[in-house]
Chains A and B, each alone.
Chain A
Amino acid sequence: MKKNLFNSIPQGILTVFVAACLARFAWFLLNWGVLDAVFYTDDPEVCRAAAGACWAVIAEKHRPMLFGLYPYEEHWRLVIMMVIYLVTVVVSLMPRFWNLKLLVPLWIFAVVSIFTLLFGGVFGMPFVPSTDWGGLPLTMLLFSGTVLIGMPVAVLLALGRRSPLPVAKGVSVVFIEALRGVPLITILFVAVNVFPLFLPAGVEVNKLLRITVGIAVFFACYQAEVIRGGLQAIPKGQYEAADSLNLSYWQTTRRIILPQALRISLPAITNHIIAAMKNTSFVIIIGLFDILTATTAVMQDPLWRRYYVEAYLFVAAIYLFFGYALSLYARQVEKWINTGRI
């Protein structure tokens, strides 16, 4: 205590100063966020009369914030969809369930049921076009699409960049550097405005899919550089050993090089996956109703608009929660790797 906080006079002054600021801030938060706050009311006038936060705005508006433009009566479908999604993801992340006989059927079931629930049009559920999807489910879809499409592309780009074939190397380098040099927004513009022009007349690709692929490719270029770092760290002896066993390029890559490279670069890979989750919020620019866009739209309501701080804190808390969960899991995986469990 004394060593860490008061080992000299300037240190002591600093400690007291920081503690005072912290106490002042904590006192403010306590008063504003708890003591003077209104937690539940459907009358904005009650909030207006209170001195503190109006958490009631979340109780009042959580459905349009979490589910966007999706028809109000059909929100139960999204709730079931999110439960299926979360269960599938959590199960897939646990090593004790890592066998293909379990995971493949689980994922097929999850993908089919999630899209059935989202689109509807069968079993008496009204059809909802993908343009009306929104909120947290949309954020989840964009995020998982980014990672599931982006990771394989990233591995291919990283291998291409390390390839002895000049053509493969050239294409990968140009692709990676060009995409890393421009903002994500321009990629989204390309996906929305330019990509349709690239297709033959009459062929159309769903806008949501185009956008997901755009974000995924952008993600892949960053991830490819991280994986390249891992590839560079593999000692030459590993390649030579594989050669001496007469393994082919793909056998060497798949069985010897990639597992080690991905293990080495795991911390950086996780960072980019978390960044990918935050990046889904960029779709506000092209008008997709993810959770941030939906919240911004909801906050136009003249009755409740003055409680925007509470609403945005709620959204920030959701991002913090998922980001924190991801990084905790990544730390656990690193521990498993270090103790040789995977």
Chain B
Amino acid sequence: MSHLDGSIRGGQKPRATLGSIIYSKTFRTIATQVVMAALVVMAGLFLYNNVVENLRAQSIATGFGFLQQDAQFDIGETPIAYNATDSYARAFLVGLLNTLRVSAAGILLATILGFSVGFARVSSNWLLSKVATGYVEIVRNVPVILQVIFWAVVLRNLPGAREAIDFGGFAFLTNRGLSFAVPATDPIHGPIIYACLAGIVLSILGGYLARRHREKTGRYISMLWPSIGLIFGLPALVWLLGGAPTALSVPALKGFNFRGGVTISPEFTALLIGIALYASGFIAEIVRAGLQATPTGQIEAARSIGLRTRFVMRYVVLPQALRVIVPPLTSQYVSLIKNSSIAVVVGYPDLVNIGNTAMNQTGQAVEAIAVMMMVYLTVSLITSTFMNVYNRLVAIKER
């Protein structure tokens, strides 16, 4: 202000008095920030000193040295080899893998459910869309922790192994979890998986070639059936070549429990159902908003040039919807991963549960919580980076 006044009055430079310096905007900006920074640093030092003092008074060792010690507790579900004589670091790793396992399954389930319900909500079928609305309202508005506890109690109150709920002799639901038959191990399984992957790669390649062809000549080649053929046909061919092994490992009642097959623990199942249903409600709303973002005029225009319904969806609605859907979907995925931390209420050994045990055993709360927080920050960051890359692929391309 003072500069302006000066130049109006006669173009001389105003004299820099103490007052004009103190009241000048630059000085105030710098002073405010110096004070802020000083406050932050002082608060940090104060807290740090207190922690060091308090820990010394309670004679708790500081630092991450405890990670090398023996954990001395067992873990119910271990995706990698682990026993009680392994270190805390390895226990944390087991916890992290369990977190990732339940999160990945949860994201898959929530996405499938969420997209189905989202499509149902915009369906022209009045009844279907009302049912979908009811589903969304209920799963979104009941606390996720209540849902997880509810499913845990439901599973725990299922009948025991002797009165198992039988699904045709191939799957059994008991209070010990869901046991189901899987193909008995066979050397051909590896090649079958590779064949399936090759089928996926080939069909992506085929889709790309078909699109190039279409863009050049205007002729549409449907890649739907060839893709299905590649993805399922190739593994089937390898299976036939490998002598078509049909042996199954079927769960069978031995004593008080099922042996054979694969068993999913009730803790995992309860947590998975709880967090996935909760997230699916939010995803459904995101999908609905995305689908409704395309102006009706565009759909009518696409129909008026004779485009078939499924192409209207594929080339007009979906590309625009994904732009709206992907950013909020990312935060739903991240929040699902974070919600998996309520594993501790049902006793599923995720990162937080194991961190909690380690914290209670060693008393090193600061370090144990720091490990948990750093891991979650990293996982959140990686998830959003991946989704941002995908977002850039679907985002509007302005050339």
- Which residues of A approach B to under 8 Å, CB–CB? 4-5, 7, 11, 14-15, 18-19, 22, 164-168, 171, 178, 180-186, 189-190, 193-194, 196-201, 274, 278-279, 281-282, 284-285, 292, 296, 299, 306, 308-309, 312, 315-316, 319-320, 323-324
Query: Nearest-CB distance from A224 to chain B (Å)?
Result: 14
Chain A residue contacts of B381, Cβ below 8 A: 181
Query: Is B7 interfacial (CB-CB < 8 Å)?
Result: no
Chain A residue contacts of B372, Cβ below 8 A: 182, 186, 189
Q: Interface stretch among B138-146, B244-252, B299-307?
A: B138-146
Interface SS, B side: helix
Q: A15-B127, A165-B36, A282-B342 are in contact. Are A181 and B141 (CB under 8 A)?
A: no
Q: Are B157 and A306 in contact (CB under 8 A)?
A: yes
Chain B residue contacts of A299, Cβ below 8 A: 153
Query: Nearest-CB distance from A337 to chain B (Å)?
Result: 21
Query: Nearest-CB distance from A294 to chain B (Å)?
Result: 12
Q: Are B356 and A189 in contact (CB under 8 A)?
A: yes
Q: A194-B369, A279-B143 are in contact. Are A18 and B57 (CB under 8 A)?
A: no
Q: How many A-B residue pairs have CB under 8 A?
A: 142
Interface SS, A side: helix
- 9 further A-B contacts with Cβ under 8 Å, apart from A182-B376, A194-B365, A274-B141, are A19-B127, A167-B40, A180-B380, A181-B334, A183-B341, A278-B144, A284-B345, A312-B149, A312-B150
Query: Nearest-CB distance from A184 to chain B (Å)?
Result: 8
Q: Are B146 and A319 in contact (CB under 8 A)?
A: yes
Q: Are A319 and B50 in contact (CB under 8 A)?
A: no
Query: Nearest-CB distance from A283 to chain B (Å)?
Result: 9
Partner of A281, one of B50, B51, B146: B146
Query: Is B125 interfacial (CB-CB < 8 Å)?
Result: yes
Q: A5-B127, A19-B127, A284-B145 are in contact. Are A165 and B344 (CB under 8 A)?
A: no
Query: Is B131 interfacial (CB-CB < 8 Å)?
Result: yes
Q: Are B50 and A198 in contact (CB under 8 A)?
A: yes
Mask, B349-387, CB within 8 Å of A = 1, is 000100010010000011001001100110011000000
A/B interface sample: 20 pairs, CB < 8 A: A4-B125, A11-B124, A15-B127, A164-B29, A178-B373, A181-B377, A185-B342, A186-B352, A189-B365, A190-B369, A194-B369, A197-B55, A200-B50, A274-B141, A278-B143, A279-B143, A306-B157, A315-B146, A320-B138, A320-B141
Q: How large is the interface on B (under 10, 10 to 19, 20 to 34, 35 or more residues)?
A: 35 or more
Q: Are B145 and A292 in contact (CB under 8 A)?
A: yes
Q: Are A282 and B145 in contact (CB under 8 A)?
A: yes
Partner of A165, one of B32, B55, B342: B32
Candidate in B55, B146, B372 with the most chain A CB atoms within 10 angstroms: B146
Query: Nearest-CB distance from B314 to chain A (Å)?
Result: 19
Q: Are B157 and A285 in contact (CB under 8 A)?
A: no
Q: A18-B125, A18-B128, A182-B376 are in contact. Are A197 and B365 (CB under 8 A)?
A: yes
